[in-house]
């Protein structure tokens, strides 16, 4: 009998150690996810799935403080879709209590705890029986809460569960802090790019706002063509900076009120190369530079600076070319009034396959029909889009 008891005890120890090894491997994998991804919600979704697993819970969720609300930004388990983007008041419910005290809490029976609000159950249809909640901290500040809900099998959460969930909350806080830092840097980077584009446009009062309109149009086209993530951001940057090279074009040419002479047009045609060469040393712009250099190429190979043809023209550049031309056609010039938006669209379609990539024109038309592209009818200098 003693032998059988010892065998069972040994089996329990082996099972417990194996579980701890699995949990450690999961935590190590989570650290790799955090270090390799800048997608905060993807990371949090992974961590909530893991939280559910290691605490043996029926569901888990992460709540972040936004103003005076606790917003559910990630969830796993049944009803997770319904719970995401719901919110509690800052001090509401078990989560609100954790924010106030900055301490973990285990509630074995929520029906017997007056702090439980039941709001999420009513809104989602989920039924909560027990909760383990731990604070999310960055340095000394509580920024949210991670919860595990309903121990599988009707059991209760214990100290081991609290320890594991607290570890995962630390990982989640790291991911959030990393995303915030990246967001701040990205905002600064984009603001710097906008400032550079505005400084270039300040040389020529007729082009004010041109770069931002091209950015808006280009992003709308790109979305219709299925572009996402980093590629969408690079198109935005390339569009904002597509005319950077005009800083190297004589102001007399930029400010000329009439049509440019052949020699003056030759100076204007240098700006794509000047812009690309100016920015080539900036590592963060490498993916955007082909769009800057080649936005004046024609699909039939008759554009500049390199006479590229068809799909040899970088994809970003083909998108920007359509956006740039639409803005030029729908802007007033000293020698002609702006075309209407519908007229400009007609011209783009007429030149599809010759000057423009047909797929980019189709993407433009879809965005236009959805109301995503509307010209500003701003006055634009002659040949400013060239």
* Structure token digits, residue 178: 């990393």
pLDDT in tens, the chain (386 residues): 465 655 454 444 344 444 444 544 454 454 454 454 456 777 788 788 888 888 899 999 999 988 889 998 888 887 777 787 788 998 999 999 999 999 999 999 999 999 999 888 888 888 999 999 999 998 888 989 999 999 998 889 999 889 888 888 888 888 787 777 766 666 666 676 777 676 666 666 556 678 889 999 999 999 999 999 889 989 999 999 998 888 888 878 877 777 888 998 999 999 999 989 988 888 888 999 999 999 999 999 999 999 999 999 999 999 999 999 999 899 876 667 889 999 999 999 999 999 999 999 999 999 999 999 887 654 333 334 44
Instruction: Give the strand order in the sheet containing 105-107.
Output: 87-89, 69-77, 57-66, 141-151, 131-138, 105-107
Same domain, 244 and 340: yes
Number of domains into which the chain is organized: 2
The three-class DSSP label of residue 207 is: helix
pLDDT at 193: 72
At 27 the three-state DSSP class reads helix
Report the number of secondary-structure helices (H) and strands (E) in the chain.
15, 6
- Helix, strand, or coil (residue 377): coil
pLDDT of residue 84: 76
Total-model pTM: 0.57
Please check whether residue 237 lies inside any domain of the structure.
yes
Q: Are 8 and 2 in contact (CB under 8 A)?
A: no
165 and 209 fall within a common domain: no
Residues 208 and 308 in one domain: yes
Which stretches of the chain are assigned E, i.e. beta strand?
57-66, 69-77, 87-89, 105-107, 131-138, 141-151
Q: Would 246 be classed as within a structural domain?
A: yes
Identify the domain boundary among 119, 150, 180.
Answer: 180
Q: Are 139 and 209 in the same domain? A: no
Q: Is residue 292 in a domain? A: yes
- Residue after which a domain boundary falls, among 149, 180, 211: 180
Q: Is residue 239 included in any domain, yes or no?
A: yes
Quickly count: other Cβ atoms within 10 Å of residue 140's Cβ: 6
Nearest to 243 by CA among 228, 257, 254: 254
Rounded to an integer, what distance in angstroms lies between the CA atom of residue 17 and that of residue 182? 38
List Cα–Cα distances, 16 to 13, 23, 160, in angstroms: 5, 10, 11
Residue 87 lies inside a defined structural domain of this protein: yes
Domain assignment present for residue 3? The answer is no
| 209/239 same-domain check | yes
Find the domain containing 304 and state its range.
202-369
Q: Does residue 338 fall inside a structural domain?
A: yes
Q: What's the DSSP call for residue 134?
A: E
The CATH number assigned to the domain holding 323 equals: 1.10.3210.10
Note whether 53 and 111 are same-domain residues.
Answer: yes
Which positions ≥6 away from 223 have C-beta within 8 Å? 232, 367, 372
Amino acid 114: pLDDT: 93
pLDDT at site 182:
67
Q: Which two tokens stand for residue 315?
A: 């994809």
pLDDT of res. 204? 62
Are residues 272 and 129 located together in one domain of the fold?
no
- Asked if residue 209 and residue 176 are part of one domain, the reply reads no
Same domain, 134 and 91: yes
For 296, which DSSP code?
Answer: T
| Alpha-carbon distances of 337 from 57, 155, 334, 348, 367, rounded to whole Å | 67, 76, 8, 18, 24
Query: What pLDDT is stored for residue 219 in this prediction?
Result: 95
Alpha-carbon distances of 179 from 37, 90, 174, 182, 190, rounded to whole Å: 9, 22, 9, 5, 16
pLDDT of residue 322: 98
266, 358: one domain? yes
Residue 130 falls inside a structural domain:
yes
Check residue 350 and give its pLDDT. 97
171 and 207 inside one domain: no
Compute the radius of gyration of the chain from its Cα atoms: 29
Residues 165 and 225 in one domain: no
> Of 147, 180, 213, at which residue does a domain stop?
180
* Neighbour-count burial of 52, counting CB atoms closer than 10 A to its CB (0-12 exposed, 13-18 middle, 19+ buried): buried
Q: What values do phi and psi take at 229, rounded to 5?
A: 60, -135
Predicted confidence at residue 4, as pLDDT, reads 60
At 140, which CATH number?
3.30.450.40
């Amino acid at each position: 009998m003693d032998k059988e008891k010892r065998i069972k005890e040994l089996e329990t120890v082996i099972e417990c150690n194996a579980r701890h090894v699995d949990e450690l491997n999961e935590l190590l994998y989570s650290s790799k996810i955090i270090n390799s991804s800048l997608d905060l919600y993807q990371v949090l979704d992974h961590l909530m799935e893991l939280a559910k697993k290691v605490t043996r819970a029926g569901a888990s969720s992460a709540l972040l403080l936004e103003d005076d609300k606790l917003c559910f930004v990630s969830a796993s388990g049944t009803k997770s879709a319904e719970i995401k983007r719901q919110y509690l008041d800052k001090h509401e419910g078990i989560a609100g209590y954790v924010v106030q005290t900055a301490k973990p809490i285990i509630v074995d029976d929520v029906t017997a705890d007056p702090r439980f609000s039941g709001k999420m159950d009513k809104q989602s249809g989920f039924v909560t029986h027990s909760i383990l909640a731990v604070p999310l901290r960055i340095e000394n500040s509580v920024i949210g809460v991670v919860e595990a809900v309903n121990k599988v099998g009707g059991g209760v959460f214990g100290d081991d569960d609290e320890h594991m969930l607290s570890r995962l909350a630390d990982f989640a806080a790291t991911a959030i802090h990393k995303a915030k830092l990246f967001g701040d840097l990205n905002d600064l980077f984009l603001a710097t790019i906008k400032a550079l584009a505005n400084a270039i446009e300040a040389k020529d009062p007729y082009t004010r706002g041109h770069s931002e309109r091209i950015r808006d149009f280009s992003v709308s086209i790109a979305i219709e063509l299925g572009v996402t993530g980093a590629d969408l951001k690079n198109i935005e940057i390339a569009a904002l900076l597509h005319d950077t090279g005009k800083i190297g074009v004589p102001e007399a040419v930029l400010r000329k009120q009439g049509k440019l002479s052949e020699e003056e047009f030759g100076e204007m045609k240098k700006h794509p190369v000047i812009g690309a060469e100016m920015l080539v040393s900036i590592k963060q712009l490498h993916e955007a530079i082909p769009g800057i250099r080649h936005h004046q190429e024609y699909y039939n190979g008759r554009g500049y600076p390199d006479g590229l043809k068809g799909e040899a023209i970088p994809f970003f550049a083909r998108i920007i070319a359509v956006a740039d031309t639409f803005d030029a056609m729908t802007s007033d010039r000293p020698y002609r009034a702006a075309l209407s938006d519908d007229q400009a669209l007609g011209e783009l379609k007429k030149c599809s396959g010759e000057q423009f990539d047909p797929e980019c024109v189709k993407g433009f038309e879809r965005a236009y029909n959805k109301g995503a592209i509307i010209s500003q009818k701003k006055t634009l200098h002659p040949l400013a889009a060239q």
